[in-house]
Homo-oligomer: A and B are copies of this chain.
Amino acid sequence: MAEAGSIHGHGEARVQGALVAALGRERALRLESGVELGPFTIAYQTYGRLDAERRNAILICHALTGDQHVASRHPVTGKPGWWESMVGPGRVIDTERYFVICANVLGGCMGSSGPTEIDPASGKPYGLAFPVVTIADMVNAQALLLDHIGIPDLFCVIGGSMGGMQVLQWAASYPDRVFAAIPIACAARHSAQNIAFHEVGRQAIMADPEWRNGDYLSFGTNPRSGLAVARMAAHITYLSETALHRKFGRNLQNRERITFGFEADFQVESYLRHQGSTFVERFDANSYLYITRAMDYFDLAAEHGGVLAKAFSGTRTRFCVVSFTSDWLFPTRESREVVHALNAAAANVSFVEIESDKGHDAFLLDEPEMFKILRGFLEGSAEHRGLRR
């Protein structure tokens, strides 16, 4: 049901079922590092139709390992989109009412420019020659994509986890292009513990000899083991202890008793191994390095003299901040800090902490209270914006 529509401009190509915009051709994108990036590509999907006034666009920002396939089948895994519970006809983000855009982040591995893509300068895959990007760079690239598509401003920008970081950055960088913003299960800066977990994942990848100092695409190798370990470590942080206990406890995997060995005796081990091995089928190790780094570097207050409220001063965006009680990766107190800053900036903000034992991943799951709250928030915002029903 992805509709490219007639609004897409020149310089478009379809790669693996996604639209790919060629950007930064006339003028390079200046990254936060100072590097000038251009030309570059952003792969994206759209769903629904842009209205005549071009005012019903919702941008969905994906998390660390997500991509543009938010509500359509993934071309590699064949699985449904990663947020089909939220996005689709009649869903909270109703594709019969809104024009939905979801773009692979800069640095990603699903068609946007990143370490797996060909460096136009060398004709070889970028690898570590790709510049390190930030959340602000991702957002700036998305803003150029909107220019390219021809969308002056967004009705709403929404995302969870790293997607939520992008939402906050959008509201800070482009206040006039964001009518409503929904940052979910995120923070205005990455914590020491979260940086630490990311560093473990990166070290696991870089310790894999197949990584070849990041040049594995040239060598025809793939640091699968390292990436799988990185994923396993990260995956634990996406769940709550309660959820792990409820799902697996100390249950054994297809056996009556422990085997006194190092096979996956416990279901939780088998589950984790599966998470690791399926992940490497769809994700790139260098992209994992780049995107975790972008999250580590995220600190919205730092850009504003250490005062988060200044990031939102004068904002007219309507915010709905969402957290989950059992999320220990982005605990509620970090959402509260965002809310306090928004309050200090006299912003229009709703905040809800949702009771859930599903941990950080709750934002991706069937959470009726989240759906209900966001449906209400979007309907109210649509009314304020004067969108037709």
In this assembly, does A299 line the interface, its C-beta being within 8 Å of a C-beta of chain B? yes
Closest Cβ of chain B to A246, distance in Å, is: 9
> Measured between C-beta atoms, what is the minimum distance from A307 to chain B in Å?
15
Q: Choose the segment among A93-101, A173-181, A262-270 that binds chain B (4+ C-beta atoms closer than 8 Å).
A: A262-270
For A237, the closest partner residue in chain B by CB is B236
**Docked CA distance A208–B250 (Å):** 27
Copies in the complex: 2
Interface stretch of the complex, out of A69-77, A144-152, A196-204, A337-345: A196-204
Contact A195 B260 (CB under 8 A): no
Residue in chain B with minimal CB distance to A224: B207
Contacting pair A196 B297 (CB below 8 A): no
Q: Which residue of B has the minimal Cβ distance to A245?
A: B192
- Interface segment out of the listed A117-125, A154-162, A225-233, A368-376: A225-233
Shortest distance from the beta carbon of A126 to any chain B beta carbon, whole Å:
14
Range of interface residues on A (Cβ < 8 Å): 35 or more
Within 8 A of B (CB), among A306-323: none
Q: Chain B contacts of A58 at CB under 8 A?
A: none
A258 at the interface (CB under 8 A from B): yes
Give residues 12-41 of A contacting B (CB, 8 Å).
Answer: 32-33, 35
**Which chain B residues border A209 with CB–CB below 8 Å?**
209
Give 30 A-B contacts (CB < 8 Å), ordered by A residue.
A32-B260, A132-B262, A191-B244, A192-B241, A192-B244, A192-B245, A192-B248, A192-B249, A193-B236, A193-B244, A193-B245, A197-B236, A199-B266, A199-B268, A200-B232, A200-B233, A200-B236, A202-B262, A203-B225, A203-B229, A203-B232, A203-B272, A203-B276, A207-B208, A209-B209, A233-B233, A250-B299, A258-B297, A262-B289, A266-B296
9 closest pairs, A vs B, by CB? A207-B225, A33-B260, A132-B260, A192-B244, A199-B269, A193-B241, A192-B268, A192-B248, A200-B232
